[in-house]
Chain A
Amino acid sequence: MLEIKNLHASVGGKEILRGINMTVNPGEVHAIMGPNGAGKSTLSNVLAGRDGYEVTQGEIIYKGENLMELEPEERAQRGVFLAFQYPVEIPGVSNIYLLKAALNAVRKYNGQDEVDAIDFLNLVRERMKLVKMDEQFLHRNVNEGFSGGEKKRNEILQMAVLEPALAILDETDSGLDIDALRTVAEGVNALRAEDRSIVMITHYQRLLDHIVPDFVHVLSEGKIVKSGDKELAKELEKSGYSWVHDAPEGQTA
């Protein structure tokens, strides 16, 4: 699904990612953890194609294609989804309009007709139940006046409607209270599938209690310094990030 090879990336001339290697197979859930400043958000932005992030070395192969050569919308149309750490408010654009435009963009790429109005409404209504969102949110402007939890749930709703092959969840747990976290996690768990991979980027272990990953990677100073299974996250929780800093390089999986 996704293969990251020796990825180096800079922001404003400053190197943030310094040789990341990682393979994500279909159906797998990977968690990338790390302290502030480790390069977590840079990695998600590079994957989604945000301007200002320069890949200086290495490559990212997604379903056999070089991801770096694709515009953000081309990545999205091919099934790459980024759940934003800070979802953007868009006054004047209703949620339902966004969902429909986004879904139709994917369908168009896949050579399908625009979604039928009634099928679309049924789909959206069904997916809203996954994240326990009330229907009134459909007619509100995208994220405008939403609480932090509502914004994050709205991201997962978009994921649920678009059914991406690869979802990158950037700090989806940040700013959530425990109930909201549970709702979001239930939504994501419901979307786990054999043909869908999920990369979760998080600072805290608590998200991983709710969405149990197959693999955990520790990102520090732009490199993956340790990889393991979910037990690794628990060790981190106990000992903090400082012990991975001290770990000798080359211990990566």
Chain B
Amino acid sequence: MKQLTEITTPFSEVAKTVSLPGAGLDWLTQLRQQALGLFERQGLPAKKVEDWKYTSLWQLSREGFTHDAKASTLQASEVADAAVLEDAYRVVIVDGRFNAELSNIEGLESGLTIKPMAEAWDQAEKLLGQQIDLDKPGLNALNTMLMQDGAYIHVAADNSITKTIELLVISTADNDRLASHLRHLVHLETGAKATLVENYVSVGETQGFTNVVTEVNLADNASLNHFKLQHESLGHYHIATLASKQAEGSQWHTNNISLGSKLARNDIHSQLLGEQSHVTLDGLYLVTGDQHVDNHTRIDHAVPNTTSDEVYKGVLDGKSHAVFNGKVFVHQDAQKTDSSQSNKNLLLSRSSEIDTKPELEIYADDVKCAHGSTVGQIDQQQLFFLRARGLDETAARSLLTYAFAVDVLQRIKSEPIRQGLSNVIEKRLPKGA
């Protein structure tokens, strides 16, 4: 398969020469070596690869990123401004490194462990890399060979964590063209419950590269409410994998909001491995100018009696390009699978483009799978109605755009999270309401 192997940034050299955290651990060194071997063979995926047909990494391959982060001058007040939640356990990663001073993970509730990944390899060993496919065309190998830090979050059996955990990943203008390779692991033991907000944000204008893999492992009856907000600078690259393994009766609700970056790609993979497990994959993307956003989701219904529910909405303006590919894979024995998926898009300009593709692969015969995708424009009747009620055209368009996007937010049960996310989204609406 054709790959991009001529890459300006010497990722392999960095992996070979730089001493990464955990370098003394044999298993980790071995894992990184394996990833390095794969990356050297494969490089970055080119557009010939089906999963990367609509997203070109050519421009990224031409960029010269650095792996050398200077100490950041980020202030506590800037962190507070960047946070979605005021009241949360705050894990702050600045320019690729955990920052203890700006974090707030003291006095955690019982049963909850939060550590920087660079200090948690031992705890993570058993599960690290187990949720993802290293071979898959994409950046999992690159991430694995260079992963330097991230968050390790563990909840012991039967603990319900009441306070939300906000994982703030901040890129600053102090380190303008930095490549960060982050790995998070969220492990909920039997019956444990938690809420996590991942917040990727730039402070100042950045043209860096965030390469992140979040692994989620949910034991029997565990439940994770999960939000990912990405609003990095428009010169930034953001490539992420979000992968879960779910045991019996577990629930994963994840909401992926993509607003920033020049190029954003999310590969989201839910593996329903235990009966009665459920996943909700919601998403919202708002892009304009020459932004490109690509969401690839895959749900594996591997056993009988599992359910999934997916709603992705997109608003495209300017010359932006969005891709949605939603695969639902129902394995042979996965009878009584109940799955629904929808992708709806609102095009605000003539030159924006959406490629949307639901993909169902079903190998069981007693299942319920619904899917649909739509592409539309602002409704002229609605627009005239609002104008006839005195709203000027800009305000009316903005309101209709918000109205289109809002049901993804209305599905969020937590008021502070919904409010925090709404505030960020409203600022990104075309021309503001």
B390→A51 contact, CB < 8 A:
no
CB neighbours (8 Å) of B404 from chain A are 92
Q: Closest residue of chain A to B405, judged by CB?
A: A92
Q: Which of B380, B385, B389 contacts A51 (CB 8 A)?
A: B380
B403 with A102: CB separation less than 8 A: no
Contact B391 A82 (CB under 8 A): no
Given A92-B402, A92-B404, verify A102-B391 contact (CB < 8 Å). yes
* Chain A: interface residue total (CB-CB under 8 A): 27
Q: Does A71 contact B (CB under 8 A)?
A: yes
Interface size class of B (residues with CB under 8 A): 20 to 34
30 A–B contacts, CB within 8 A, in A order: A48-B388, A51-B380, A71-B387, A72-B384, A73-B387, A73-B388, A73-B392, A73-B393, A73-B396, A76-B387, A84-B388, A88-B381, A88-B382, A88-B384, A90-B382, A90-B386, A90-B400, A91-B403, A98-B389, A101-B389, A101-B390, A101-B395, A101-B399, A102-B389, A102-B390, A105-B389, A105-B390, A105-B391, A105-B392, A106-B390
From B382, B390, B395, B407, A76 is in contact (CB under 8 Å) with B390
B409 nearest CB neighbor, chain A only: A92
A115 contacts partner chain B, Cβ-Cβ < 8 Å: no
Question: Contacts A51-B380, A51-B384 known; A92 to B403 CB distance under 8 Å?
Answer: yes
Give the docked Cα–Cα distance between A50 and B330 (Å). Answer: 50
Given A81-B388, A88-B384, A101-B390, 19 additional A-B pairs, CB 8 A: A50-B384, A50-B388, A71-B392, A71-B393, A73-B390, A75-B388, A90-B400, A90-B403, A91-B407, A92-B400, A92-B406, A92-B407, A93-B399, A93-B403, A101-B389, A102-B391, A105-B389, A105-B392, A105-B395
Residues A101 and B391 in contact, CB atoms below 8 Å apart: yes
Chain B residues within an 8 Å CB radius of A202: none
B residues 350-390 near A (Cβ < 8 Å) are 379-382, 384-390
Cβ–Cβ < 8 Å partners of B391 in chain A: 73, 101-102, 105
B384 CB contacts on chain A under 8 angstroms: 50-51, 72, 88
Q: How far is the CB of A68 from chain B (nearest CB, A)?
A: 15
Q: Provide the bound-state CA to CA distance between A194 and B405, in Å.
A: 44
> Does the CB pair A158–B403 fall under 8 Å?
no
A76 near B403 with CB under 8 A, answer no
The docked-state distance in angstroms from the alpha carbon of A87 to that of B386 is 11
Report yes or no: A84 in contact with B385, Cβ–Cβ below 8 A. Answer: yes
A94 to chain B, nearest CB (A): 9
For B389, the closest partner residue in chain A by CB is A102
Query: B382 — which chain A residues lie within 8 A by C-beta?
Result: 88, 90
Alpha-carbon distance A71/B385, docked complex (angstroms): 13
Q: Which residues of B contact A75 (CB under 8 A)?
A: 388
Q: Does A77 contact B (CB under 8 A)?
A: yes
Q: How many Å from the CB of A163 to the closest CB on chain B?
A: 12
What residues of B have a CB within 8 angstroms of the CB of A88 in the complex? 379, 381-382, 384-385
Q: Does A49 contact B (CB under 8 A)?
A: yes
Residues of B within 8 A of A50 (CB): 384, 388
Min CB distance B81 to A, Å, is 26
- Asked if B403 and A82 sit within 8 Å, CB to CB, the answer is no
Q: Using an 8 Å CB-CB cutoff, how does the interface string of A95-113 with B read, 1 for contact, 0 for none? A: 0001001100110010000
CB distance from A45 to the nearest CB of B (A): 9
Residue of B nearest to A82 (CB): B388
- Which residue of chain B lies nearest to A103 when distances are taken between CB atoms in the complex? B390
In the assembly, what is the distance between CA of A158 and CA of B386, in Å? 12
Q: Which of A49, A82, A88, A106 has the most CB of B within 10 A?
A: A88
- Cβ of A90: which chain B residues have Cβ within 8 Å of it? 382, 385-386, 400, 403
A77, A87, A101, A102: most-surrounded residue (chain B CB, <10 A):
A101
User: Which residues B275-302 have CB closer than 8 A to chain A?
Assistant: none
A82–B57 alpha-carbon span in the complex (Å): 52
Residue on A nearest B410 in the bound complex, by CB: A92
Q: What distance in Å separates the Cβ of A150 from its nearest Cβ neighbour in chain B?
A: 16
Q: Which 5 pairs, one residue from A and one from B, show the smallest C-beta to C-beta distance?
A: A92-B403, A105-B390, A76-B390, A102-B389, A72-B387
A168 closest partner in B (C-beta): B388
Q: Is the CB of B388 within 8 A of A76?
A: yes
How many angstroms between the C-alpha atoms of A151 and B77 in the bound complex? 49
